[in-house]
A and B are shown apart, each in its own frame.
Chain A
């Protein structure tokens, strides 16, 4: 099963058992994400008595998300996608001035390896679950970034991939999936329709659909964003984190990740306030937060931010709780604002993010204007995907480059005009 050629003896990889988040029932490791008793979601169970590394041990390990393997849902050694994670944390003083806060960093998953979005993290976890269960075909329902990640990781591992996306997606997301040789299927309808189909696909074919029947293992990969932020800040916590919300899982896993490092004594202090951002054309989680209660009302998405266009987010309620209980809040921004967000992130930080990044940057600005961020705040923005994937969104928003003859006398007036 091992795909590595290390001379060090590897321990065989196995997946952790699962427990229902709703009723607490436990079951053995399996490619199953739904409780047989109550249909609630299953989460991996860790051995509370396991040996945990200290900061120095972690620091000496390879710069990938597997440096935190004791908090990932496996025993033994991972076999695939060993070099994903540990993306840069970039300080952004110009953005801090714009937001009126003490300091800002961008967690830059636009350069995630190999597929340029944070979905590489969850797929790194899911593909090792597939290895542990001996599955030869993996797949996903995706708004684009996950499609790219599953296709790339599967190609490298030599697995077959069946990938389902809504018919209308950006070209970069479509080509960036099919180029890997994945079986890509475009489905007429929204992401929620695709997701429903994939629940039946997992049931019918027995494949490892990463965000359906491997979901319990897959989701744990997102926690590594929190671990990396804490380590890269010098083993301490920011006061606030702003992240985009689609299904809502990232917010809940950030909370879990920071909590686990606090429990392990690797960091100390108050957990950060968690803020979630959505596009106003698809903001069921922000609206649930503002409305209160526990009844999420699904929406039909109408936004150019296709990567966050999930009208029926499975983790919406848990994400709303994470924001409320940590003292954070949510923001919904218009399509025009999110395009401006992409530009200000590029101009202030030098990071070109996709539409979801624009939502996060514009959401942070909206939260600052609403007085939700404080002057002494240290804020981290989770920027989760690369802008080259969604060029369509900013085509009309960037200045057109002048065309000149290769003569200095043509250039001089241009420079004088633009200086």
Chain B
């Protein structure tokens, strides 16, 4: 499955300036692992040493927080959109 990943500008330095990139996998975790393999300096910014998401980096799958969909285990479909957003404060 090929998904589109939107990155915050703060991470674009690790992808040669690209903020929208394609990734492959059957789950969100596999898509993140694919990115991690292709962009080694991006890898530790998306997930920890054990391959788990950080509490302060949120992943959205088609506008929904993936923690409602099983986190990195969430299955993805061709054409899905993943958005990476650092956790932000309340108001």
Contacts and interface: CB of A to CB of B under 8 A. Distances in A.
Interface of A: 22, 32-34, 36-41, 119, 140-143, 145-147, 191-193, 195-196, 198-200, 203, 211-212, 215, 218-219, 246-249, 294-298, 300, 310, 312-315, 317
Nearest to B13: A36
Contact of B90 (A37, A203, A249, A295): A249
B8 A34 contact: yes
A39 B55 contact: no
B57 interface: yes
A383 B72 CA distance: 39
A343 B68 CA distance: 36
Judged by DSSP, the binding face of B is: mixed
Contacts of A37: 45
B65 interface: yes
Contacts of B83: 196, 200
B9 interface: yes
A409 B52 CA distance: 76
B1 to A, nearest CB: 23
Contacts of B57: 39
A105 to B, nearest CB: 25
A203 B9 contact: yes
Given A40-B56, A196-B60, A317-B55, A211 B10 contact: no
A294 B48 CA distance: 15
Contact of A141 (B13, B67, B68, B91): B91
Given A22-B56, A39-B56, A140 B8 contact: no
Contact of B91 (A143, A200, A300, A312): A143
Interface of B: 8-11, 13, 44-45, 54-58, 60, 63, 65, 67-68, 83, 85-91
B89 A199 contact: no
A215 B90 CA distance: 10
Contact of A211 (B60, B86, B89): B89
A384 to B, nearest CB: 12
7 contacts: A22-B56, A38-B45, A39-B45, A39-B54, A147-B91, A196-B83, A211-B91
A246 B68 CA distance: 19
Contact of B55 (A34, A119, A140, A296): A296
Contact of B85 (A33, A191, A196, A300): A196
Nearest to A245: B90
A199 to B, nearest CB: 5
B55 A219 contact: no
A369 B55 CA distance: 33
A33 B88 CA distance: 9
B42 to A, nearest CB: 11
